[in-house]
Structure 1
Amino acid sequence: MSALTGVLYAALVAYLGGWYVGRWSGNFALLLFILTTVTLFYWLAERFHFAPARRAAADALLSNDAKRREALAAQGISRVDGDVEPARQQILQQPWWLDWTAGLFPVILIVFLLRSFLFEPFKIPSGSMVPTLLVGDLILVNKFHYGIRLPVINKKIIANHDVQRGDVMVFRYPEDPSTDFIKRVVGVPGDEITYTNQKLYINGQPAPVQAQGNFYDEDARVYRQRFLEKLGDKEHQLLVEPGAQRFFRPDRADGPFPFQENCRYTIEGVSCKVPAGHYFMMGDNRDNSRDSRFWGFVPDENIVGKAFLVWMNFGNLKRVGTFFN
């Protein structure tokens, strides 16, 4: 078993190393599930086989030592050299390969349950959500807000709150489900979303906005115009670069996106009818975000959870504890 454990750890190190250097994409949820299952096997083997076997061997050592002492006492020998207690403790000691498998099972199980059903950490990798979220923000994602989902397969088994316009949502990127993205929900099923001439319209009505002055984007080292936008009953800040209007067109790498026929692209912008069970996502940094305007809708089964808190930013500690819509 020690050799098998060594092979398993070598495979884990190789997998994580290849993931880190970008040789392949990893699925942390699946990895955590496999680690939980494997360590559970070791934990059960330790509890019901290896630990009882060690205790039986230790008891046999004490029993044999007691019999030896009785036999010597019968011969009139009262002083017997040798203390078997160190040997007994060595027999009872858990070997390294069980300490690093069965011993880790409770910790891995707690992490697996917390991450799968309660909260999951997420690091902001790009500036598409500036000014709401900055590059380097470490945030928490509420996994149960939209319902309880089975880990790995992400199938919803218990419904909770509906997705609302204005929610900041983490989801599995439709082009590459092994990658998590974060954007703001702009359109829910049935909505007609139009983004034209750098203005957002929902079901034919412009989203209310108020100018908030300039915002200095530290990563890009430029000033951008900041606005306060209201989606439903939620207000949030966004950035717009006047004159930076882009010609939107579908550019999904694997071809036309599902329900692409629901979208109309013009020189002024794009208009999409959100299909049932799907959502239209946009970044708050409107002119620096590749989102649903380019790669289409996010299906309900891709939802990871609702983002709500910045719990750490090592480059800007003032960000810690920031709640957001």
Structure 2
Amino acid sequence: MERIKSIFSWIIPIAVGLLLALLIQAFLLVPVTVNGDSMLNNLKNGERIWVFKTEKVHRGSVIVFDAKKEDPGIQAGEKDYVKRVIGVPGDKIEAKNGDIYVNGKEISQKYISSYNRTTGTGNWTLKILSSGNSPFVSGKSHWIDGKAITVPAGNYFVLGDNRSKSEDSRYFGFVKKIHVLGVAKVFPWASRHQEINDVWKNFFVK
């Protein structure tokens, strides 16, 4: 009997710990490894991030979503994409000479290089996107500079920080809210934590 009690004395804490870990992963947060260079220089390939499933999505938030359900051109072996939210439902988005405007207000892009703000982003506003998602066609995006689009209800408009190396809403269209796994965060001591965790707090140019 004493031996059984002794066994249970360490089995029960382990079982409880495993159960708590499973519950946290299922309902609160999950670790994800960044795959690719689309978020450089703020997130590197192979970097570990945490995805908070119940966190509110803001403009400027970095999110993780199910790429297989969004990008028809997804590469073999890829599963989830990590991108930054530029527009939320109802927002009107347009680009003018490298500057991005949301509802007529210029957004701050201090978190990316000047190259990615201009040449890397390209001249875009997707006319065809106003009616829903549009697939990538013939190696070119559908952007037309200076034309505003409106983000539909239940969707987000996303861009990678490394604009010249990112498959994002410029190509495959809006990301459905139901396909978003959560908001990505890094530890406060990470070198570029403000660019990941805090951009949403100062999203617009002041």
* Residue 206 in structure 1 maps to residue 206 in structure 2: no
State the shift of 1:171 in Å: 1.6
Q: Take 1:308 and 1:143, find their aligned partners in 2: how far apart are those partners?
A: 11
Give deviations 1:60-80, integer Å, cap 9, x for gaps: xxxxxxxxxxxxxxxxxxxxx
Work out the CA distance in 1 between the residues paired with 2:191 and 2:61: 20
Q: Distance in 2 between the 1:321 and 1:204 partners?
A: 28
Alignment correspondent of 1:220: none
2:42 matches 1:165: no
Q: Residue in 2 aligned with 1:191?
A: 91
Flag the structure with more relative contact order, 1 or 2, with Cα contacts below 8 A and sequence separation at least 6: 2
Structure 2 CA distance, aligned partners of 1:179 and 1:320? 26
Provide the secondary structure at the position in 2 that maps to 1:238.
coil
Q: Does residue 125 of the first structure (1) align with residue 35 of the second (2)?
A: yes
Seen in structure 2, the aligned counterparts of structure 1 residues 121 and 268 have a Cα distance that, compared at 3 Å, is same
Q: Is the 8 A contact 2:93 2:102 kept in 1?
A: yes
Structure 2 residue aligned with 1:285: 162
Name the TM-score, length of structure 2 as normaliser. 0.66
Aligned to 2:20: 110
What is the 5 A alignment of 1:282-321?
282-310=159-187, 319=190
Residue by residue, what CA displacement relative to the aligned partner does 1:183-241 show, whole Å, maximum 9, x if unpaired?
Answer: 111101111111344321112332245xxxxxxxxxxxxxxxxxx1xxxxxxxx01242
Percent of aligned positions with the same letter in both sequences? 32
- For residues 75-94 of structure 1, what are the structure 2 equivalents within 5 Å? none
Match of residue 232 from structure 1? none
Residue 112 of structure 2 corresponds to which residue in structure 1? 238
Q: Secondary structure at the match of 2:185?
A: strand
Q: 1:120, CA displacement in angstroms? A: 0.7
Distance 1:244 1:282, change over 3 A: closer
Which residues in structure 2 correspond to 1:27-38 (within 5 Å)? none
Decide whether the 8 Å contact of 1:172 with 1:180 is kept in 2.
Answer: yes
Distance 1:114 1:198, change over 3 A: same
CA distance in 1, matches of 2:171, 2:186: 28
Q: Does 1:175 align with 2:70?
A: yes
Q: 1:267 to 1:278 in 2, by over 3 A?
A: closer
Decide whether the 8 Å contact of 2:89 with 2:156 is kept in 1.
yes
State the Cα distance separating 1:280 from its structure 2 match.
Answer: 0.6
Equivalenced residue count is 175
Instruction: State the structure with more CA Rg.
Output: 1
Unaligned runs of 5+ in 2: 135-140, 199-206
TM-score normalised by L of structure 1: 0.44
User: Quick one: distance in 2 between partners of 1:269 and 1:291?
Assistant: 19
**Is the partner of 2:113 in helix, strand or coil?**
strand
Alpha carbons of 1:105 and 1:271: their partners in 2 closer, same or farther (altered >3 Å)? farther
Higher strand share: 1
Q: Give the conservation status (yes or no) of the 8 Å contact 2:61–2:183.
A: yes
Relative to structure 1, the CA distance from residue 117 to residue 289 in structure 2 (aligned partners, 3 Å threshold; closer, same or farther) is same
Alignment partner of 1:275: what SS? coil
- Pick closer, same or farther for the CA change 1:269–1:295 going to 2, 3 Å: farther
Q: CA RMSD in A?
A: 3.9
